[in-house]
Structure 1
Amino acid sequence: MAVIAALGGLLFGYDTGVISGALLFIQRSFELTAGQESTVTAMLLVGAAIGAFLGGRVADTLGRRGTILLGALGFIIGSIWCAFASSVFELGAARTLLGVCIGGVSIVVPMYISEMAPTHVRGRLVSLNSLMIVIGQLVAFLTNSALAASGSWRLMLGLGAVPAVVLLVGMLILPDTPAYLIREGKPGKALAVMRQMHGPDAELDQAAVAEASASADQRAAERAALKTPWVRRTVVIAMLIGVTQQVTGANAIMYFAPTMMNKVGLSTESSVYTSILIGTASVISCAVGMSIIDKVGRRRMLIIGLIGCAASLLVLAPVYGLSKDSAVGSVASLALMTVFIVFQQAAVSVATWLLISEIVPNEARGLGMGLAGLALWVANWFVAQAFLPMVEAVGGAWSFFFFAVTGAIALVFTLRAVPETSGKTLAEVREYMMAAAR
């Protein structure tokens, strides 16, 4: 169940990662400016912001399973549309559709898994979605590399339809969650699903029943709760944690590393291959981070990650500036980008969503999570939209230095405002946030 649902995460990773290599060949086909390259990349993120904000409400209407099925269908249509796009505008529109699907599944897949999984493995199974995202990015990088010699960007983008078909078929054989079925007035079917997933003696638990009480009245109560100062402060902190993940410049490297390596003298084909190293480091680092975060602590992991990201970018800036047509400089730049990704994926990315999910109080959970997701995706869009024009205006070295500075600002924010939630119950975290606001 978790693996099939987490294919949504794999599609998330594939469609965000595939553009990094495809963009070099798309540029040749359509003769894109730096601004147009950024727009083709960033339109996916515009759609993702919309999908993330609306995903919860769609899941309340269509069900978790129905929403994922709709997302899978959107992934199939969007991938095929990308493959046959005849203009930059058409490609941007197709990428926007894919983005809406990405944003929606980024909210609903963890929701589906958490509502289906037994308590004792819930954390690990929900985290599987995060691991599948970076695996999807690595699959995209490997696909780009395999097709680099042919330059077939249409096939690179179109192959995203394959896992989407598997997700569609897989979700057709899975049931919806007990929480949604109770909400729809089907307690008998909800109990049958519980026993199918957890054994013949399973009963409907209180979490499922409580979840079923969410309604339009609950959403109105959440909006009212945001008027409470400590709740509003906590949601703002959650939103800024989401922004923190992006202002390190992580996705500038994930999306544009081949483009940046191409600018310092590597051939187009060789530049595409460099993403394999970054993608492999990303998967391994994410797996390691997931295995140690409960021992190290969420806040401490975030602090370590931000320090590592800022330091590696501070060194990368001058090295990249001196790397033009230098084999040694190119290798050093790629190595430093990889070090940056290790800190980002092992610490910053792993800690971000876990912290957000733990500090947003129940009083405004649905709306607060939606706002945090919206903030993260808007920041992601800004980074993707601004990066290549910034490189063109001030050069790669100063662009990397800029992200080192913004990463340092994010570190100051984390030290001053982000609590440690490791080892605390959600009730204890809630009490801490209330006290901190006084």
Structure 2
Amino acid sequence: MRTVAAVAAFGGLLFGYDTGVMSGALLFISPEFDMTAAQEGWVTSMLLVGAAVGALLGGRIADWLGRRLTLIIGGLIFITGSLWCAFAGSIASLGAARTFLGVAVGAVSIVVPMYISEKSPAGVRGKMVSLNTFMIVVGQLTAYLVNSVLAGTGSWEAMLGMAAIPGVILTVGMIFLPDTPVWLARQGCMEEARATAARAGMGLDELSAAEDGRGSRGGGGEWAAFRAHRWIRLTVIIAAVIGVIQQITGVNAIIYFAPTLMNEVGMSVENSIYTSIVVGVVSVLACWVGLQIIDRVGRKRLLLIGLSGNVISLVVLSVTYRAAEGNQGLALVSLAVMAVFIAFQQAAVSPTTWLLISEIVPVKVRGLGMGLAGLALWVANWAVAQFFLPMVEALSATGTFLIFAVLGLAAVGFVATLVPETKGHSLEEVGASFRRRFGGDVSVG
């Protein structure tokens, strides 16, 4: 099971690398193409636009072709898109390549948690699915380190093209792995599904809802089920809000703009660049801790701890950052508070949100539901990246951090009220709890 999860999680590494690499590569791309600030923002954000499309389509394609084949196609797009980025000869070509690459990022961000959750026993599902989140932050740190190593050469082409290597590993690795028992059951291949489930140590109850949902596979059936059952609609909406919650306290504002924020309060350009590595190292260490505790602490409790820590960190950061201008000591204190914020996010919030989405979306609308949740997450990601710096300019960094803190408090209330604990429960049991809660027919899978 660990081998299966590790290979599939290379999709997470690609996700992390491609979202992190532009922070350094853009320093060399911009002067070569004489880019304006608007063009820099456009090239960077096109990955997120493609990811939103990929997230929406990825789940549907995974229902049609299977999780395994969808990940193989995603790996091929990663390889092609990375090489296209490396050989782009114009701003338009680079933007198109980033959009193409983003489709794979979005699709893989949905299908990898889906694939792992559908092949994991309930007792270790949290740890296995969270391995994907761990690989995302490893990918981001890898991008920062590659940028640092290649900075002396100025080779942005190599920075962007390096993503082709893990793309090859994902593609080749998935060729030798079977599809999930849940998907096989939905295709009517019950004998193969039972054999695959037995090898993974899963209970056969996981397959009952999948077999019941055979008639809904394909776009029309999923939409019909979505429209027909109130409990399904409400469950998918909760999953989508969980996706937004991952972004709502501004984590990617810190990841994308930490060097800029530190430079604004007087830290040198050279030292500011290294803040990305600090953020990356903290992310990896914190995510590793989260990986070890998620199946013991529980998803809901860990998410509430993480969001509460985020809120406190943002309030403290709003104070220290305002006082840090021209004061190197307070600038370092602000960086330390950012690191604490990232630690809460990556140990608790990020892994539990991806896991909960993969666990609560009903099998009957698996592709559609996870696609909509992924779309919500990526749109929120884009909004934070697009509007953070204008908000800082209009409201100050202090005001912006406080807005994120208020949104974090709202997220705490939402999770405490509407998100169930899924620790130790099969996917069928999780679905049954939502049916009971929202008044659905218990026979509907």
**TM-score of Structure 1 vs Structure 2, range by shorter chain:** 0.7 to 0.9
Find the aligned partners of 1:416 and 1:78 in 2 and give their Cα distance: 42
What corresponds to 1:391 in structure 2? 392
Give per-residue Cα distances to partners, 1:358-381, cap 9 Å, x unaligned.
333344333222211111111111
- Give 2:134's aligned residue: 131
CA 1:357 to 1:164, structure 2 compared with 1: closer, same or farther past 3 Å?
Answer: closer
Secondary structure in structure 2 of the residue aligned to 1:266: coil
1:157-205 Cα distance to aligned partner (Å, 9 max, x none): 22111211222333344454566567678788x489849x939xx9995
Contact persistence 2:249–2:407 (CA under 8 A)? yes
Which TM-score applies when normalising by structure 1? 0.87
Distance in 1, Cα, partners of 2:122 & 2:23: 38
Mean Cα deviation higher: 384-393 or 22-31: 22-31
The within-5 A match list for 1:276-355 is 276-355=277-356
Q: Which residue of 2 aligns with 1:86?
A: 89
**For residue 100 of structure 2, what is the aligned residue in structure 1?**
97
Partner residue in 2 for 1:222: 222
Deviations 1:293-350 (A, max 9, x none): 2333322222221121122112212322333343213212211111110111111112
8 Å Cα contact 2:114/2:358 also seen in 1:
no
Cα contact 1:38–1:387 (8 A) shared by 2: no
C-alpha distance after superposition, 1:20-79 (max 9, x if no partner): 333344444445454443332221111111111111222244333322222112112211
What is the CA–CA distance in structure 2 between the aligned matches of 1:145 and 1:351, rounded to whole Å? 31
Instruction: Give the Cα separation in 2 of the matches to 1:122 and 1:416.
Output: 24
Distance in 2 (CA, whole Å) between partners of 1:412 and 1:294 is: 23
Contact 1:41 1:385 in 2 (8 A): no
Q: 1:351 to 1:126 in 2, by over 3 A?
A: closer
SS at match of 1:310: helix
Q: Evaluate the alpha carbon distance shift between residue 27 and residue 258 of structure 1 in structure 2; reply closer, same or farther with a 3 A threshold.
A: farther
Q: Which runs of 5+ in 2 are unaligned?
A: 440-445
- Is the deviation greater in 402-411 or in 222-231? 222-231
Aligned with 2:111 (options 108, 111, 114): 108
**2: CA distance, partners of 1:111 / 1:72:** 16
Q: Which runs of 5+ in 1 are unaligned?
A: none
In 2, the alpha carbon distance for the partners of 1:205 and 1:266 equals: 58
Q: 1:38–1:417: structure 2 CA closer, same or farther, 3 Å change rule?
A: farther
Distance in 1 (alpha carbons) for counterparts of 2:416 and 2:110: 27
Could you say what secondary structure the match of 2:274 adopts?
Answer: helix
CA contact (8 A) 1:20 1:258 kept: no
Alignment length, in residue pairs? 434
Q: Distance in 2 between matches of 1:268 and 1:91?
A: 26
What displacement does 1:428 show? 5.4
Structure 1 window deviating more from structure 2 (345-354 vs 357-366): it is 357-366
Q: Identity over the aligned pairs, expressed in percent?
A: 57
Letter in 2 for 1:225: A
Amino acid at match of 2:81: G
Please say if 1:39 is aligned against 2:42. yes
SS in 2 for 1:226: helix
Separation of aligned partners in 2, 1:321 and 1:27: 30
Residues 288, 143 of structure 1: alpha-carbon distance in 2 compared, 3 angstrom cutoff: same
Moved more, 425-434 or 401-410: 425-434
Residue 132 of structure 1 aligns with an amino acid whose one-letter code is M
Find the aligned partners of 1:118 and 1:425 in 2 and give their Cα distance: 8
Matched ranges for 1:337-416 at <5 A: 337-416=338-417
Distance 1:151 1:409, change over 3 A: farther
- Quick one: distance in 2 between partners of 1:295 and 1:64? 28
The 8 Å contact of residues 15 and 160 in structure 1, kept in 2 or not, is answered as yes
Deviation at 1:430, TM superposition (A): 4.3
Q: For the structure 1 residues 120 and 134, does the alpha-carbon distance in structure 2 shift closer, same or farther, using more than 3 Å as the test?
A: same
| CA 1:346–1:28: 2 relative to 1, 3 Å | same
Deviation digits for residues 206-262 of structure 1, max 9, x if unmatched? Answer: 756864675573454432333433332222122111111111101111122223223
Which residue matches 1:418?
419
Cα deviation code 1:133-159 (max 9, x no counterpart): 111111112112222344433322221
Corresponding position: 1:269 with 2:270: yes
In structure 2, the CA distance between the partners of 1:365 and 1:2, relative to structure 1 (3 Å rule), is: closer
**1:78–1:424 CA distance, 2 compared to 1 (3 A):** closer
Give the distance between the partners of 1:203 and 1:112, measured in 2 at CA. Answer: 14
Between 1:107-116 and 1:202-211, the stretch displaced more is 202-211
Structure 1 distance, partners of 2:312, 2:394, is 24
Compute the RMSD of aligned alpha carbons. 3.2
Map Cα deviations across residues 275-309 of structure 1 (whole Å, 9 max, x no partner): 11111111111121222223333222222211211
Q: Which moved more, 1:427-436 or 1:273-282?
A: 427-436
Which range moved further: 8-17 or 86-95?
86-95
* AA partner of residue 163 (structure 2): G
Contact 2:247 2:380 (8 Å CA) reproduced: yes
1:248-263 aligned at under 5 Å gives the runs 248-263=249-264
Change (3 A) 1:181 1:367: closer
Aligned counterpart, 1:13:
16
